[in-house]
Amino acid sequence: MTTMTVQALLPLLPEPHVLLAQCRALALLDFILDADAPTHVFVSDWCDGVDLACMDNGSGDQYAVVFDPAGVFLYGFDHESDATPWRESPRAHWPGLLDGLPASLAHYPTAPEFQFDGFFDATVCVWREKEAKSWQCGPVEFASDESDGADWLFELLTDGSADAYVSFAEDYFERSIDRDAVAAILTQAPLSRRIVSSLSPTRDFAAVARHARALGYTVQDQETAAQERQSTATS
């Protein structure tokens, strides 16, 4: 059986603006469900107009997506994959992993935030400059039974459906998840009390709203919210 590696991932990734919206939505969903242990995080204006999305599953696997005015840089690390830099000592990237990375994005692998013990731990790297028409990767090669983690690390980003997130969240948070509320956030519906309470009845809406605004996510205006509450009360 052939394992999907980075080359197969490229055509599955959405357009950068769609990817940005998905990353923001995943971070908001995780925050609503458990602010203390989110798997997905989004930092709006991380530095100088650059947004950053991260995933860390707590088991040694992670990814980051950097949304720079010059383009997008995405990398993932599957610590059990064949491409792990830890397969040899001293650590070394899989041949070709960063070859071809454009100068406008080439500084990210050396950014301190993406270093572990002085090394850029990555098994998958993808990029797309601002004017590029498609996603790119280095000239990496794998045998049919070798993996770099691309087959599972980015499933929620390539699928983008409410069903995919619900499946993940019910397994991770070990409780049932309201699919309609998930779908509302994934489709960028303005955040409302109803959406938040459907996902987590005890969450403080004001705190979630503040966090959503910090992410750059739209929160329902007060007039519409009041109308919604009145409709609920009289129904």
Q: What is the pLDDT of residue 194?
A: 97
Check if the beta carbon of residue 194 is closer than 8 Å to that of residue 232: yes
Q: What is the pLDDT of residue 221?
A: 83
Q: What is the pLDDT of residue 4?
A: 87
Calculate the alpha carbon distances from 123 to 43, 71, 152, 163 in Å.
Answer: 23, 20, 12, 27
Cα–Cα dist 211/126, whole Å: 29
Q: What is the pLDDT of residue 224?
A: 55
Check if the beta carbon of residue 136 is closer than 8 Å to that of residue 127: yes
Task: Indicate the pairing of strand 62-68 with strand 124-129.
Answer: unpaired
pLDDT tens for each residue of the chain, 235 residues long? 457 899 999 999 999 999 999 999 999 999 999 999 899 999 999 999 999 999 999 999 999 999 999 999 999 999 999 999 999 999 999 999 999 999 999 999 999 999 999 999 999 999 999 999 999 999 999 999 999 999 999 999 999 999 999 999 999 999 999 999 999 999 999 999 999 999 999 999 999 999 999 999 999 986 455 555 555 555 5
Q: What is the pLDDT of residue 7?
A: 95
The sign one gets for the Cα dihedral 201, 30, 20, 3 is negative
Cα–Cα dist 5/75, whole Å: 13
Cα–Cα dist 138/1, whole Å: 23
